[in-house]
A and B are shown apart, each in its own frame.
Chain A
């Protein structure tokens, strides 16, 4: 069996896989590590797509120069789209990381404000007890 026969199926699979996992990522409401897994899956698919895509480019032959130009434009556009998807994944990861850092900061704020007030509350109780 020739590998080139498998290429179209694989292309469709990988593209569908990546778009489905990104769609699932958007639909996933709970913010946790599993959500990130979907981004990783999308990246796997898109990487697979990239490899196959290069393969199709390498197997191009017997084209006139006009056909070749159009094919090149097509390849360029698709390549940009793939880069766009990867950019999206990286951006999401950065945004997630940033919101995680913000969460840590506000968690620390809560701890600090709670800790600072402990002593004064104890003093208040002690002074009340003193009055009685």
Chain B
């Protein structure tokens, strides 16, 4: 009788421990901080694929929400990048194919020479994409997804990639800072048509 009792106690404790472990440990528990946002993800410089997938998923998520009627306004994407490179082109194309109605790209004065025709194609195919260039290559790169989510890159040179941070449900104050900066930079940027892109300055290797 006493043995049975001990066994029962041990079994119960084990069962409870296991349930607690499942509850506490195995749950989606993203990094979050009130001052920054609801879900903060850090990407290391070598995680190129992860960065891409995160942004692609975010774009798809936004479209699903829009289709379900959870988002009423039009989907917008604002980017400031060093140059309209292959990575950026993929994001822009993905967004354009997933119901985004306004995409604004601000980049530095130079592009990679081989990208010029591709940019021409994008501007030709998607009239919703607006391309602006600045007189100086911006060092602070970020993307604002539909005025709610933010993606910030660590400053880097055009020849390298660095770590970056993705923030879902970004803090309003923080997002406002970036929004305002974007609007200000936009007033100082020069719009580029698809024909001008073909003659844009490019990096000489």
A interface residue numbers (CB < 8 A to B): 33, 36-37, 39-40, 43-44, 47-48, 50-51, 54-55, 58-59, 93, 100, 103-104, 106-108, 110-111, 113-115, 117-119, 121-122, 124-126, 128-129
In the complex, A117→B185 CA distance in Å? 13
Q: Which of these binds chain A: B16-24, B60-68, B69-77?
A: B16-24
Contact A54-B33, Cβ < 8 Å, known A93-B25, A114-B140: no
- Shortest B156–chain A CB gap in Å is 11
Within 8 Å of chain A (Cβ to Cβ): is B38? no
Chain B 36-64: CB-based contact to A (< 8 A → 1; otherwise 0): 10001110000000000000000000000
Contact A114 B25 (CB under 8 A): no
Q: Contacts A33-B26, A54-B7, A110-B164 hold; do A43 and B17 have CB atoms under 8 A apart?
A: yes
**CA A43 to CA B21, docked complex, whole Å:** 8
List the one stretch of B112-120, B122-130, B174-182, B193-201 in contact with chain A. Answer: B174-182
Nearest 4 CB-CB pairs, A to B?
Answer: A47-B14, A107-B42, A58-B3, A118-B181
Measured CB to CB, the nearest residue on chain B to A123 is B184
Chain B residues contacting A100 (CB-CB under 8 Å) are 31
Chain A residue nearest in CB terms to B162: A110
- Complex Cα distance, B88 from A86, in Å, reads 46
B97 in contact (CB, < 8 A): no
Q: How far is the CB of A46 from chain B (nearest CB, A)?
A: 9
Cα separation A11 to B147 with both chains bound (whole Å): 56
Known A93-B25, A122-B184, A129-B188: A104·B135 in contact at CB below 8 Å: no
Q: How far is the CA of A59 from the CA of B31 in the complex (A)?
A: 48
Chain B, Cβ-Cβ closest to A32:
B28
Q: Which residues of A sit under 8 angstroms from B99, Cβ to Cβ?
A: none
Are B10 and A50 neighbours in the complex by a CB distance under 8 Å?
yes
**Closest beta carbon of chain B to A76's beta carbon, Å:** 16
Is B152 positioned at the interface, with any CB of A under 8 Å from its CB?
yes
Is B83 located at the chain interface by the 8 A CB criterion?
no
Cβ-based interface call for B154 (8 A): yes
Q: How far is the CB of B14 from chain A (nearest CB, A)?
A: 4
A126 and B188: CB pair below 8 A?
A: yes
Give the CA-CA distance A128 to B36 in the complex, in Å: 32
Please name 5 pairs of A and B residues whose Cβ atoms are closer than 8 Å in the assembled complex, sorted by A: A47-B14, A111-B174, A115-B178, A125-B188, A129-B135
